[in-house]
Amino acid sequence: MKLKTDDRGGKNGLRRGKWLRRACACCAFAALTALFACSGGASEAAQAAFDRGAAAYNSCDMEAAKQAFAECCRLDGALYEDAKKYLDGIAEYERLYLQGVSAYERGDYNAASSAFLGIKGYLNSEDYLNSIDGLKDEYDSAVRLYEAGEYLKARAEFLRLGDYQRAAAYAANIDSMIGLYNEGIRLMNRSSFQNAARAFTAINTRFLDSDEMLLLCERMRGSETVKLGEFIHGYTQEYGGESRLYGGSFGLFFELKDSRGLIISGAMDESGVVRRISFCVSRELASILGRAEVESTFAHCIRALNPSLAAHAGILSGISDFLTEQGRMYGSMRVHLGSGEDGMTVLTAEYEPQGLS
């Protein structure tokens, strides 16, 4: 509701009623004091101006009251302090009124209500208060939409309500949901289904089709591909962030070496997605590490291909399934025992596209 500020000075520009409740008592006491004191030295002209100001003040004609009290101050110093109290009171109400109007127009209804309540009855302050009270129905309606999961409709209502009650907090929360949802969609489009699932889960409620998107992410996580850089990062994380791999890529081929002597080599496509990767343990390295450590190392290598699918302990418990010629699937890659020269143990993972079924 767009209200028009009331700056008229006459009686037609003022609302009647019980107003200026707090400051009036002080000013009325000052007026009575001045009336008794006027016979003690105030000029007749000053007293007449003071009386006009008091009458105008009591009839809510604040502009006339200001002019009369200002005239009184000019004419006679004896009534100056009393007239000045009236002028200061009027100025404070004018300040609160403008403060309330400004807060109302920028949507800060809590601040506007506080200002207008302090000067209830002054000018058209009650119109503003009635308008703010009318926002309660709109606010309650927006809350109902929010609780029903109609978040976008609720957001539009809360934004219109500005700072009324907790409207801004509700709108900010919905904006956070929108941000997480959009981030989830963006990550899905990049085939980063694990991170997309985290984004949808963080919404912590059903937002649009977020539940369906989360289920789709869970189904697609097993078909995620891995780029060489992602594998290196995952492998490094397997060992607490310690940098362990050295080497690089040569066109579409790469060869890396672990600080202990494990050789990792393979091929990738033009976008950097690993199509085949082999983990090679020499006979000498196997004798140094021992069977248990070799199997643990292979489990770390497998997990680095897609850390979201399983924990190291889970992979290690079933490592014998991978260490066969047939091997088994890990996500979108078949991991199996390959052939090696000079007694080298080779574990190979090759990409196999998976459907949704």
| pLDDT band at residue 82 using 50, 70 and 90 as cut-offs | confident
- pLDDT given at position 352: 64
How many structural domains compose the chain? 3
Residue 139 in any domain: the answer is no
Compute the average pLDDT of residues 46-58: 87
Is the pLDDT score of 340 beyond 80?
A: no
Compute the average pLDDT of residues 295-319: 91
Same domain, 185 and 211: yes
- Helix H, strand E, coil C: the string for the chain is CCCCCCCCCCHHHCCCCCCCHHHHHHHHHHHHHHHHHHHHCCCHHHHHHHHHHHHHHHCCCHHHHHHHHHHHHHHCHHHHHHHHHHHHHHHHHHHHHHHHHHHHHCCCHHHHHHHHHCCCCCCCHHHHHHHHHHHHHHHHHHHHHHHCCCHHHHHHHHHHHCCCCCHHHHHHHHHHHHHHHHHHHHHHHCCCHHHHHHHHHHHCCCCCCHHHHHHHHHHHHHHCCCEHHHHHHHHHHHCCCCCCEEEEEECCEEEEEECCCCEEEEEECCCCEEEEEEEEECHHHHHHHCHHHHHHHHHHHHHHHCCCCCCHHHHHHCHHHHCCCCCEEECCEEEEEECCCCCCEEEEEEECCCCCC
Mean per-residue pLDDT over the chain, rounded:
82
Same domain, 290 and 200: no
Is the pLDDT score of 327 beyond 70?
A: yes
Same domain, 208 and 305: no
Residue 157 in any domain: the answer is no
Is the pLDDT score of 76 beyond 80?
A: no
Of 43-47, 202-206, 349-353, give the lowest mean pLDDT range: 349-353
Same domain, 308 and 260: yes
Residue 143 in any domain: the answer is no
Same domain, 191 and 242: no
Q: Which domain holds residue 67?
A: 11-133
How big is the CA angle at 299 (ends 295 and 302), to the nearest 5 degrees? Answer: 135
- Which residue has better confidence, 220 or 23? 220
- pLDDT given at position 244: 79
Residue 160 in any domain: the answer is no
Residues in a beta bridge with 278: 265, 348
Whose tokens are 């579409």? That residue is: 252
| pLDDT band at residue 10 using 50, 70 and 90 as cut-offs | very low
List, for residues 271-298, the tens digit of each pLDDT value.
888 999 999 999 999 999 999 999 999 9
Is the pLDDT score of 35 beyond 60?
A: no
| pLDDT band at residue 3 using 50, 70 and 90 as cut-offs | low
List, for residues 219-250, the tens digit of each pLDDT value.
776 566 788 898 999 999 888 877 678 898 88
